[in-house]
């Protein structure tokens, strides 16, 4: 019997295996491998004892509630708690919006792109951005068009304006942004830049997807920059948050704050996707909000990750600065590095592979899949302080060995 030839839908033809997931899978069994790669939280960040106590409590009080079918929107109490926190600490307008609990932030992207993107449509992104968003856009036959960065490492608003002005066929449906502690750049838009982006999209009636998984993780004494959603007075901004970076990725809890008319449509596509998100973790997160001060948990994360970031930056300055340049983020998970022109990129990656240290090459995080051969991304939240020191030492040695 001949082997069956599967006829897959054309919408998946452009999709590729996520290289971040593959690298994570392949490196797990390698001894002495230092992972400066994935956007994982530290195991020290998980409030295990608190969650264990709360788990026992919700089993006693809500077992049948979370074992049964649930509301597609999410449990009302958790939605109210998140909305109250967004209003109080992020100054987000809740009155003409509603909040949908999603199965992680990646489902939020999938639902929004499914809702707005037809085959052949365009979604604008930053030139370097989250590869999962690019794949989600492609999965609906859309095209992810990366816009260049300005000197501050943020989206160039003049190019944005010119691109939207030239779109006479109105195929650009969304602007996808990570404006706070951007992945992979680590940069943040100023308030003036956010206002300019919002005003341009408002003028051309293009929706903005504001992805904010790292927004709580500010490591300086500066005041947090207002969200683009806080500027929204006409309903063009969808704000996405996540518990993956501030509680646990395994919770698979994210959320979308969207204008009511958009929210109503999101419920419909959510019901097609999975009916509702994990109820156990929704009840657990809600109980955590009720029984503990969640801001104290956030402050613990800030202290933990601030030390790791400082350790990485000091090591880079001491061991790598003559062969590469880098920005110093004020929060988030990542540091972006650019190799000097006299470093052979291919030789550098061969060298760090031999030295068993993992980084994310810039082209993986490029919307176009090219143009960032000299760049790579480092994560500082997962590795220990010792691993950070040793990993940066190996990177510095690899750069020296890769000089032309």
Domain boundaries, the chain: 16-47+296-401, 65-291
Contact (CB, 8 A) for 175 and 194: no
DSSP 225-245: PPPGGGG-SSS-EEEEEESTT
Residue count (the chain)? 404
Question: Do 65-291 and 16-47+296-401 fall under one CATH topology?
Answer: no
What does the mean pLDDT of the chain come to?
93
User: Rounded distance, CA 145 to CA 148, Å?
Assistant: 10
Q: What is the pLDDT of residues 103-145, one digit of tens each?
A: 999 999 999 999 999 999 999 999 999 999 999 999 999 999 9
Q: Is the pTM of this model over 0.85?
A: yes
Q: How far is CA 201 from CA 118, 120, 153, 240, in A?
A: 19, 20, 20, 18
Give the phi and the psi of residue 8 in degrees, each rounded to 5. -80, 155
Q: Of the candidates 30, 115, 74, which has an alpha carbon nearest to the alpha carbon of residue 353?
A: 30
Find tokens 């207002």 and name the residue. Answer: 226
Sort strands 237-242 and 334-339 into parallel, antiparallel or unpaired: unpaired
Provide the 10 A C-beta neighbour count for residue 192: 9
Contact (CB, 8 A) for 263 and 98: yes
Please compute the mean of the pLDDT values over residues 249-276 and round it to a whole number: 97
Q: Which CATH number fits domain 16-47+296-401: 1.20.120.50, 3.90.1150.10, 3.40.50.1220, 1.20.950.20?
A: 3.90.1150.10
Fold of the CATH domain 65-291: 3.40.640
Q: What is the pLDDT of residues 280-330, one digit of tens each?
A: 999 999 999 999 999 999 999 999 999 999 999 999 999 999 999 999 999
Q: What is the pLDDT of residues 146-161, one digit of tens each?
A: 999 998 889 999 999 9
Find tokens 């509630």 and name the residue. Answer: 65
Q: What is the pLDDT of residues 43-68, one digit of tens each?
A: 999 999 999 999 999 999 999 999 99
């Amino acid at each position: 019997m001949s082997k069956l030839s599967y006829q897959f839908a054309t919408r998946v033809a452009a999709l590729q295996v996520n290289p971040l997931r593959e690298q994570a899978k392949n490196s797990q069994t390698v001894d002495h491998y230092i992972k400066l790669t994935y956007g994982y939280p530290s195991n020290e960040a998980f409030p295990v004892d608190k969650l264990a106590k709360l788990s026992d409590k919700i089993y006693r009080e809500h077992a049948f509630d979370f074992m049964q079918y649930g509301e597609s929107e999410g449990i009302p109490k958790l939605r109210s708690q998140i909305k109250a926190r967004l209003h109080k600490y992020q100054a987000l307008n809740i009155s003409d919006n509603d909040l949908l609990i999603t199965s992680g932030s990646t489902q939020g992207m999938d639902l929004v792109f499914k809702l707005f993107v037809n085959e052949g449509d365009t979604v604008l992104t930053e030139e370097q951005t989250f590869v999962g968003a690019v794949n989600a856009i492609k999965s609906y036959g859309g095209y992810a068009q990366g816009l260049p960065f300005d000197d501050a490492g943020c989206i160039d608003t003049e190019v944005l304006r010119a691109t939207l002005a030239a779109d006479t066929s109105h195929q650009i449906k969304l602007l996808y942004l990570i404006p706070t502690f951007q992945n992979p750049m680590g940069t943040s838009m100023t308030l003036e830049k956010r206002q300019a982006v919002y005003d341009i999209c408002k003028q051309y009636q293009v929706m903005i997807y504001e992805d904010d998984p790292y927004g709580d993780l500010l490591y300086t004494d500066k005041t947090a920059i207002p969200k683009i959603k806080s500027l929204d007075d006409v309903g063009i901004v969808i704000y996405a948050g996540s518990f993956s970076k501030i509680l646990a990725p395994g919770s698979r809890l994210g959320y979308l704050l969207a204008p009511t008319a958009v929210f109503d449509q999101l419920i419909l596509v959510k019901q097609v996707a999975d009916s509702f998100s994990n109820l156990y973790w929704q009840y657990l997160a809600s109980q955590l909000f009720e029984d503990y001060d969640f801001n104290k948990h956030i402050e613990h994360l800030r202290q933990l990750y601030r030390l790791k970031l400082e350790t990485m930056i000091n090591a880079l300055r001491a061991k790598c600065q003559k062969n590469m340049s880098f920005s110093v983020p004020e929060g988030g998970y990542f540091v972006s590095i650019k190799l000097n022109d006299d470093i052979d990129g291919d030789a550098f990656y061969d060298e760090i592979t031999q030295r068993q240290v993992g980084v994310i090459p810039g082209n993986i995080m490029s919307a176009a899949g090219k143009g960032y051969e000299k760049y790579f991304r480092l994560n500082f939240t997962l590795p220990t302080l010792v691993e950070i020191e040793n990993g940066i030492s190996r990177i510095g040695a690899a750069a020296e060995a890769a000089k032309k």
